[in-house]
Structures are given as C-alpha cells and as structure tokens.
Amino acid sequence: MKPLDIYALIGPSGSGKSHRASLVAMDKGVETIIDDGLLIHQGRIIAGRSAKREATRIQAVKRAIFDDPDHRVEVMAGLQHLQPQSILVLGTSEHMIHRILDALELWGNPIEWIRIEEITTPEERQIARQIRLTEGKHVIPAPTVEVQRSFSGYLVDPLRFIFRKKGRQVEVEKSIVRPTYSGLGRFYIADTVLTAIVVHAAGSVPEIARVSKVMVQSSPDGVHIALDVMPRLSRRLFHTLHQVQEEVRRHIELMTSLNVLSVRVVARRLG
C-alpha cells in the first residue's frame, strides 16, 4: 500500500472511543476507521468481523488485533481495494495500536496520537463507563442499516446527532449493540418462540385459513424460515403468499432483531 496518514485514538475500554470516533474522523478529514475488527469506510462496513460478536473477552481482544489469519487477510484486501489516504485506528493502548498496524502491515506510516482524555471531559468518560457497566452497551461507528447485517439477533439501536462543521450542518449516525460477552449475560431466542411468531404473522393475513407446518433454520447471520399454509379460496393466491412472506419477515425482524435471510411459503391445499 502507498504511504498514508494514521490517526490513533486510544483510551481505556468503555471510555467512549467508538462514540467519539466519527467526530474525530470528520475533524481530521478521515473516511476510513478500524475499530474492534471492522474496516469502516464512509459509514459502510467494508470488511472484518466485530469483536463485539465474540463469546468471551479473550476472543474479542484477539479479533480486535486481527489474530485470526483469515480475518486479517480479508481486512488487508479491503484496505488494498480502498487505497485510503488516511485511517483512524481505535485501541486501548499504544501497544494495541502497534499490534493492529503490524498485523495489517501498516508499519512505517506516520502516527498522530489522540488520547480520549484530550477530547472528552472526566464527566463524559464516567457516563460512558457507567453505561458500559450497568447496561452492557457498546457503540459501533456505522449506521444501523450496516450494523444489523452483522449483528443478527442483537438489539441494535440507532444513535444520531447533528453538529456544525465549517458552517454546514452534518448528521452522523452510529449504532448501539450489546455483545454476547457482556457481564449482563447472554440471551437466546428459542425456535419455539420463532415458530409462534411465524404462525401469528401468517395468520394475520385474512386469506390464510391455517398454518400447518413451520421450519426454522438458524445461522450466525440470521434465520431461514419455511412454512406450509392453507389459503382460503382466492383469485389472488400468489399475492396472498407474497403477503405472508412480508408479514413473517416484518414480525420476526421487529420482535427479535434477527435477520430473516429467506421465507419460503408453500400452499398445500385451498381451504
């Protein structure tokens, strides 16, 4: 890669680095961010897997420093494709930043160090730590529409704010997630619950008399759903089945935050 300017934002875990990352990037004119294993460019997740998806803190740290070879190669390929002029890298210490730069072969580039204490007040850092400890919430500096694809089953909330820069109004969106290694514990959504939601959603379509079978296949990226239905006599059968697909997808995503990867609806017989 060609030489590039590197900005390193460092501070303890839970001090608000990811929350401030977008503002720092805009202030420095940086469009590319490396945070917790993700390569983010202009608000889009280009490559990587978030450390916040790991089951333990040790696994999360390894993910954040690109210890996994496949993960490392994926992000390096993303950087090679982007060819950014500058990057903002987040870490808990100078040592961690150097580990990340070494893993991604970004050594030899000038680094401007930015400490979280320089851009936040003690009160702001205390609030960030309190939220992390009591609510288990983490911020990802990317819009929710980007984050949800990588965080199926997580409660992902948008965080928007507006500020003025050089006389113009700028809106920034970030996302709040609770990772599985949070001290608040893990949560699971049983297939029986998903089946009940599917039956309810399909039954809300007036032309459906009964749901006879539901199959749910879960994966790390979301769920595949298949269901057999008994439609009432109707001239708009294909429209009805499409409506069932949409209602099932909408109810599952709204009630569970899971990504619905596919919904297959089969009409077995007319009621």
120 within a domain of the structure (yes/no): yes
Q: Tell whether 203 and 92 lie within a shared domain.
A: no
Q: Do 119 and 251 fall into the same domain? A: no
Residue 226: CB atoms within 10 Å: 15
Q: What is the pLDDT of residues 191-248, one digit of tens each?
A: 788 899 999 999 999 999 999 999 998 877 788 999 999 998 877 899 999 999 999 9
User: Once rounded to an integer, what is the mean pLDDT over residues 102-106?
Assistant: 94
* 199 in the same domain as 98: no
Kindly state whether residue 203 falls inside one of the protein's structural domains: yes
Task: State the pLDDT at residue 85.
Answer: 93
Share of the chain above pLDDT 90, in %: 51
Which residues span the domain enclosing 238? 191-267
In a shared domain, residues 164 and 262: no
User: Residue 157 — pLDDT band, cuts 50, 70, 90?
Assistant: low
Closest by CA to 8, choosing from 110, 84, 157, 124, is 110
pLDDT of the residue at 140? 79
Task: Evaluate if residue 78 carries a pLDDT over 70.
Answer: yes
The predicted pLDDT at position 207 comes to 92
Average model confidence (pLDDT) for the chain? Answer: 85
Record the pTM.
0.66
Q: Given its phi and psi angles, is residue 27 left (phi above 0), alpha (psi -120 to 50 degrees) or beta?
A: alpha
In a domain, 185, yes or no: no
Q: Are 14 and 81 in the same domain?
A: yes
Q: Is residue 186 part of a domain?
A: no
Confidence band for 103, pLDDT divided at 50, 70 and 90: very high
Whether 113 and 195 map to the same domain: the answer is no
| Confidence at residue 91, expressed as pLDDT on a 0 to 100 scale | 95
Q: Which residue has the tokens 């296949």?
A: 217
- The pLDDT, as a whole number, for residue 94 is 95
The backbone torsions φ and ψ at residue 147, rounded to the nearest 5 degrees and listed phi first, read -70, -35
Number of domains forming the structure of the chain:
2
Q: How confident is the model at residue 188 (pLDDT cuts 50, 70, 90)?
A: low
Same domain assignment for residues 196 and 163: no
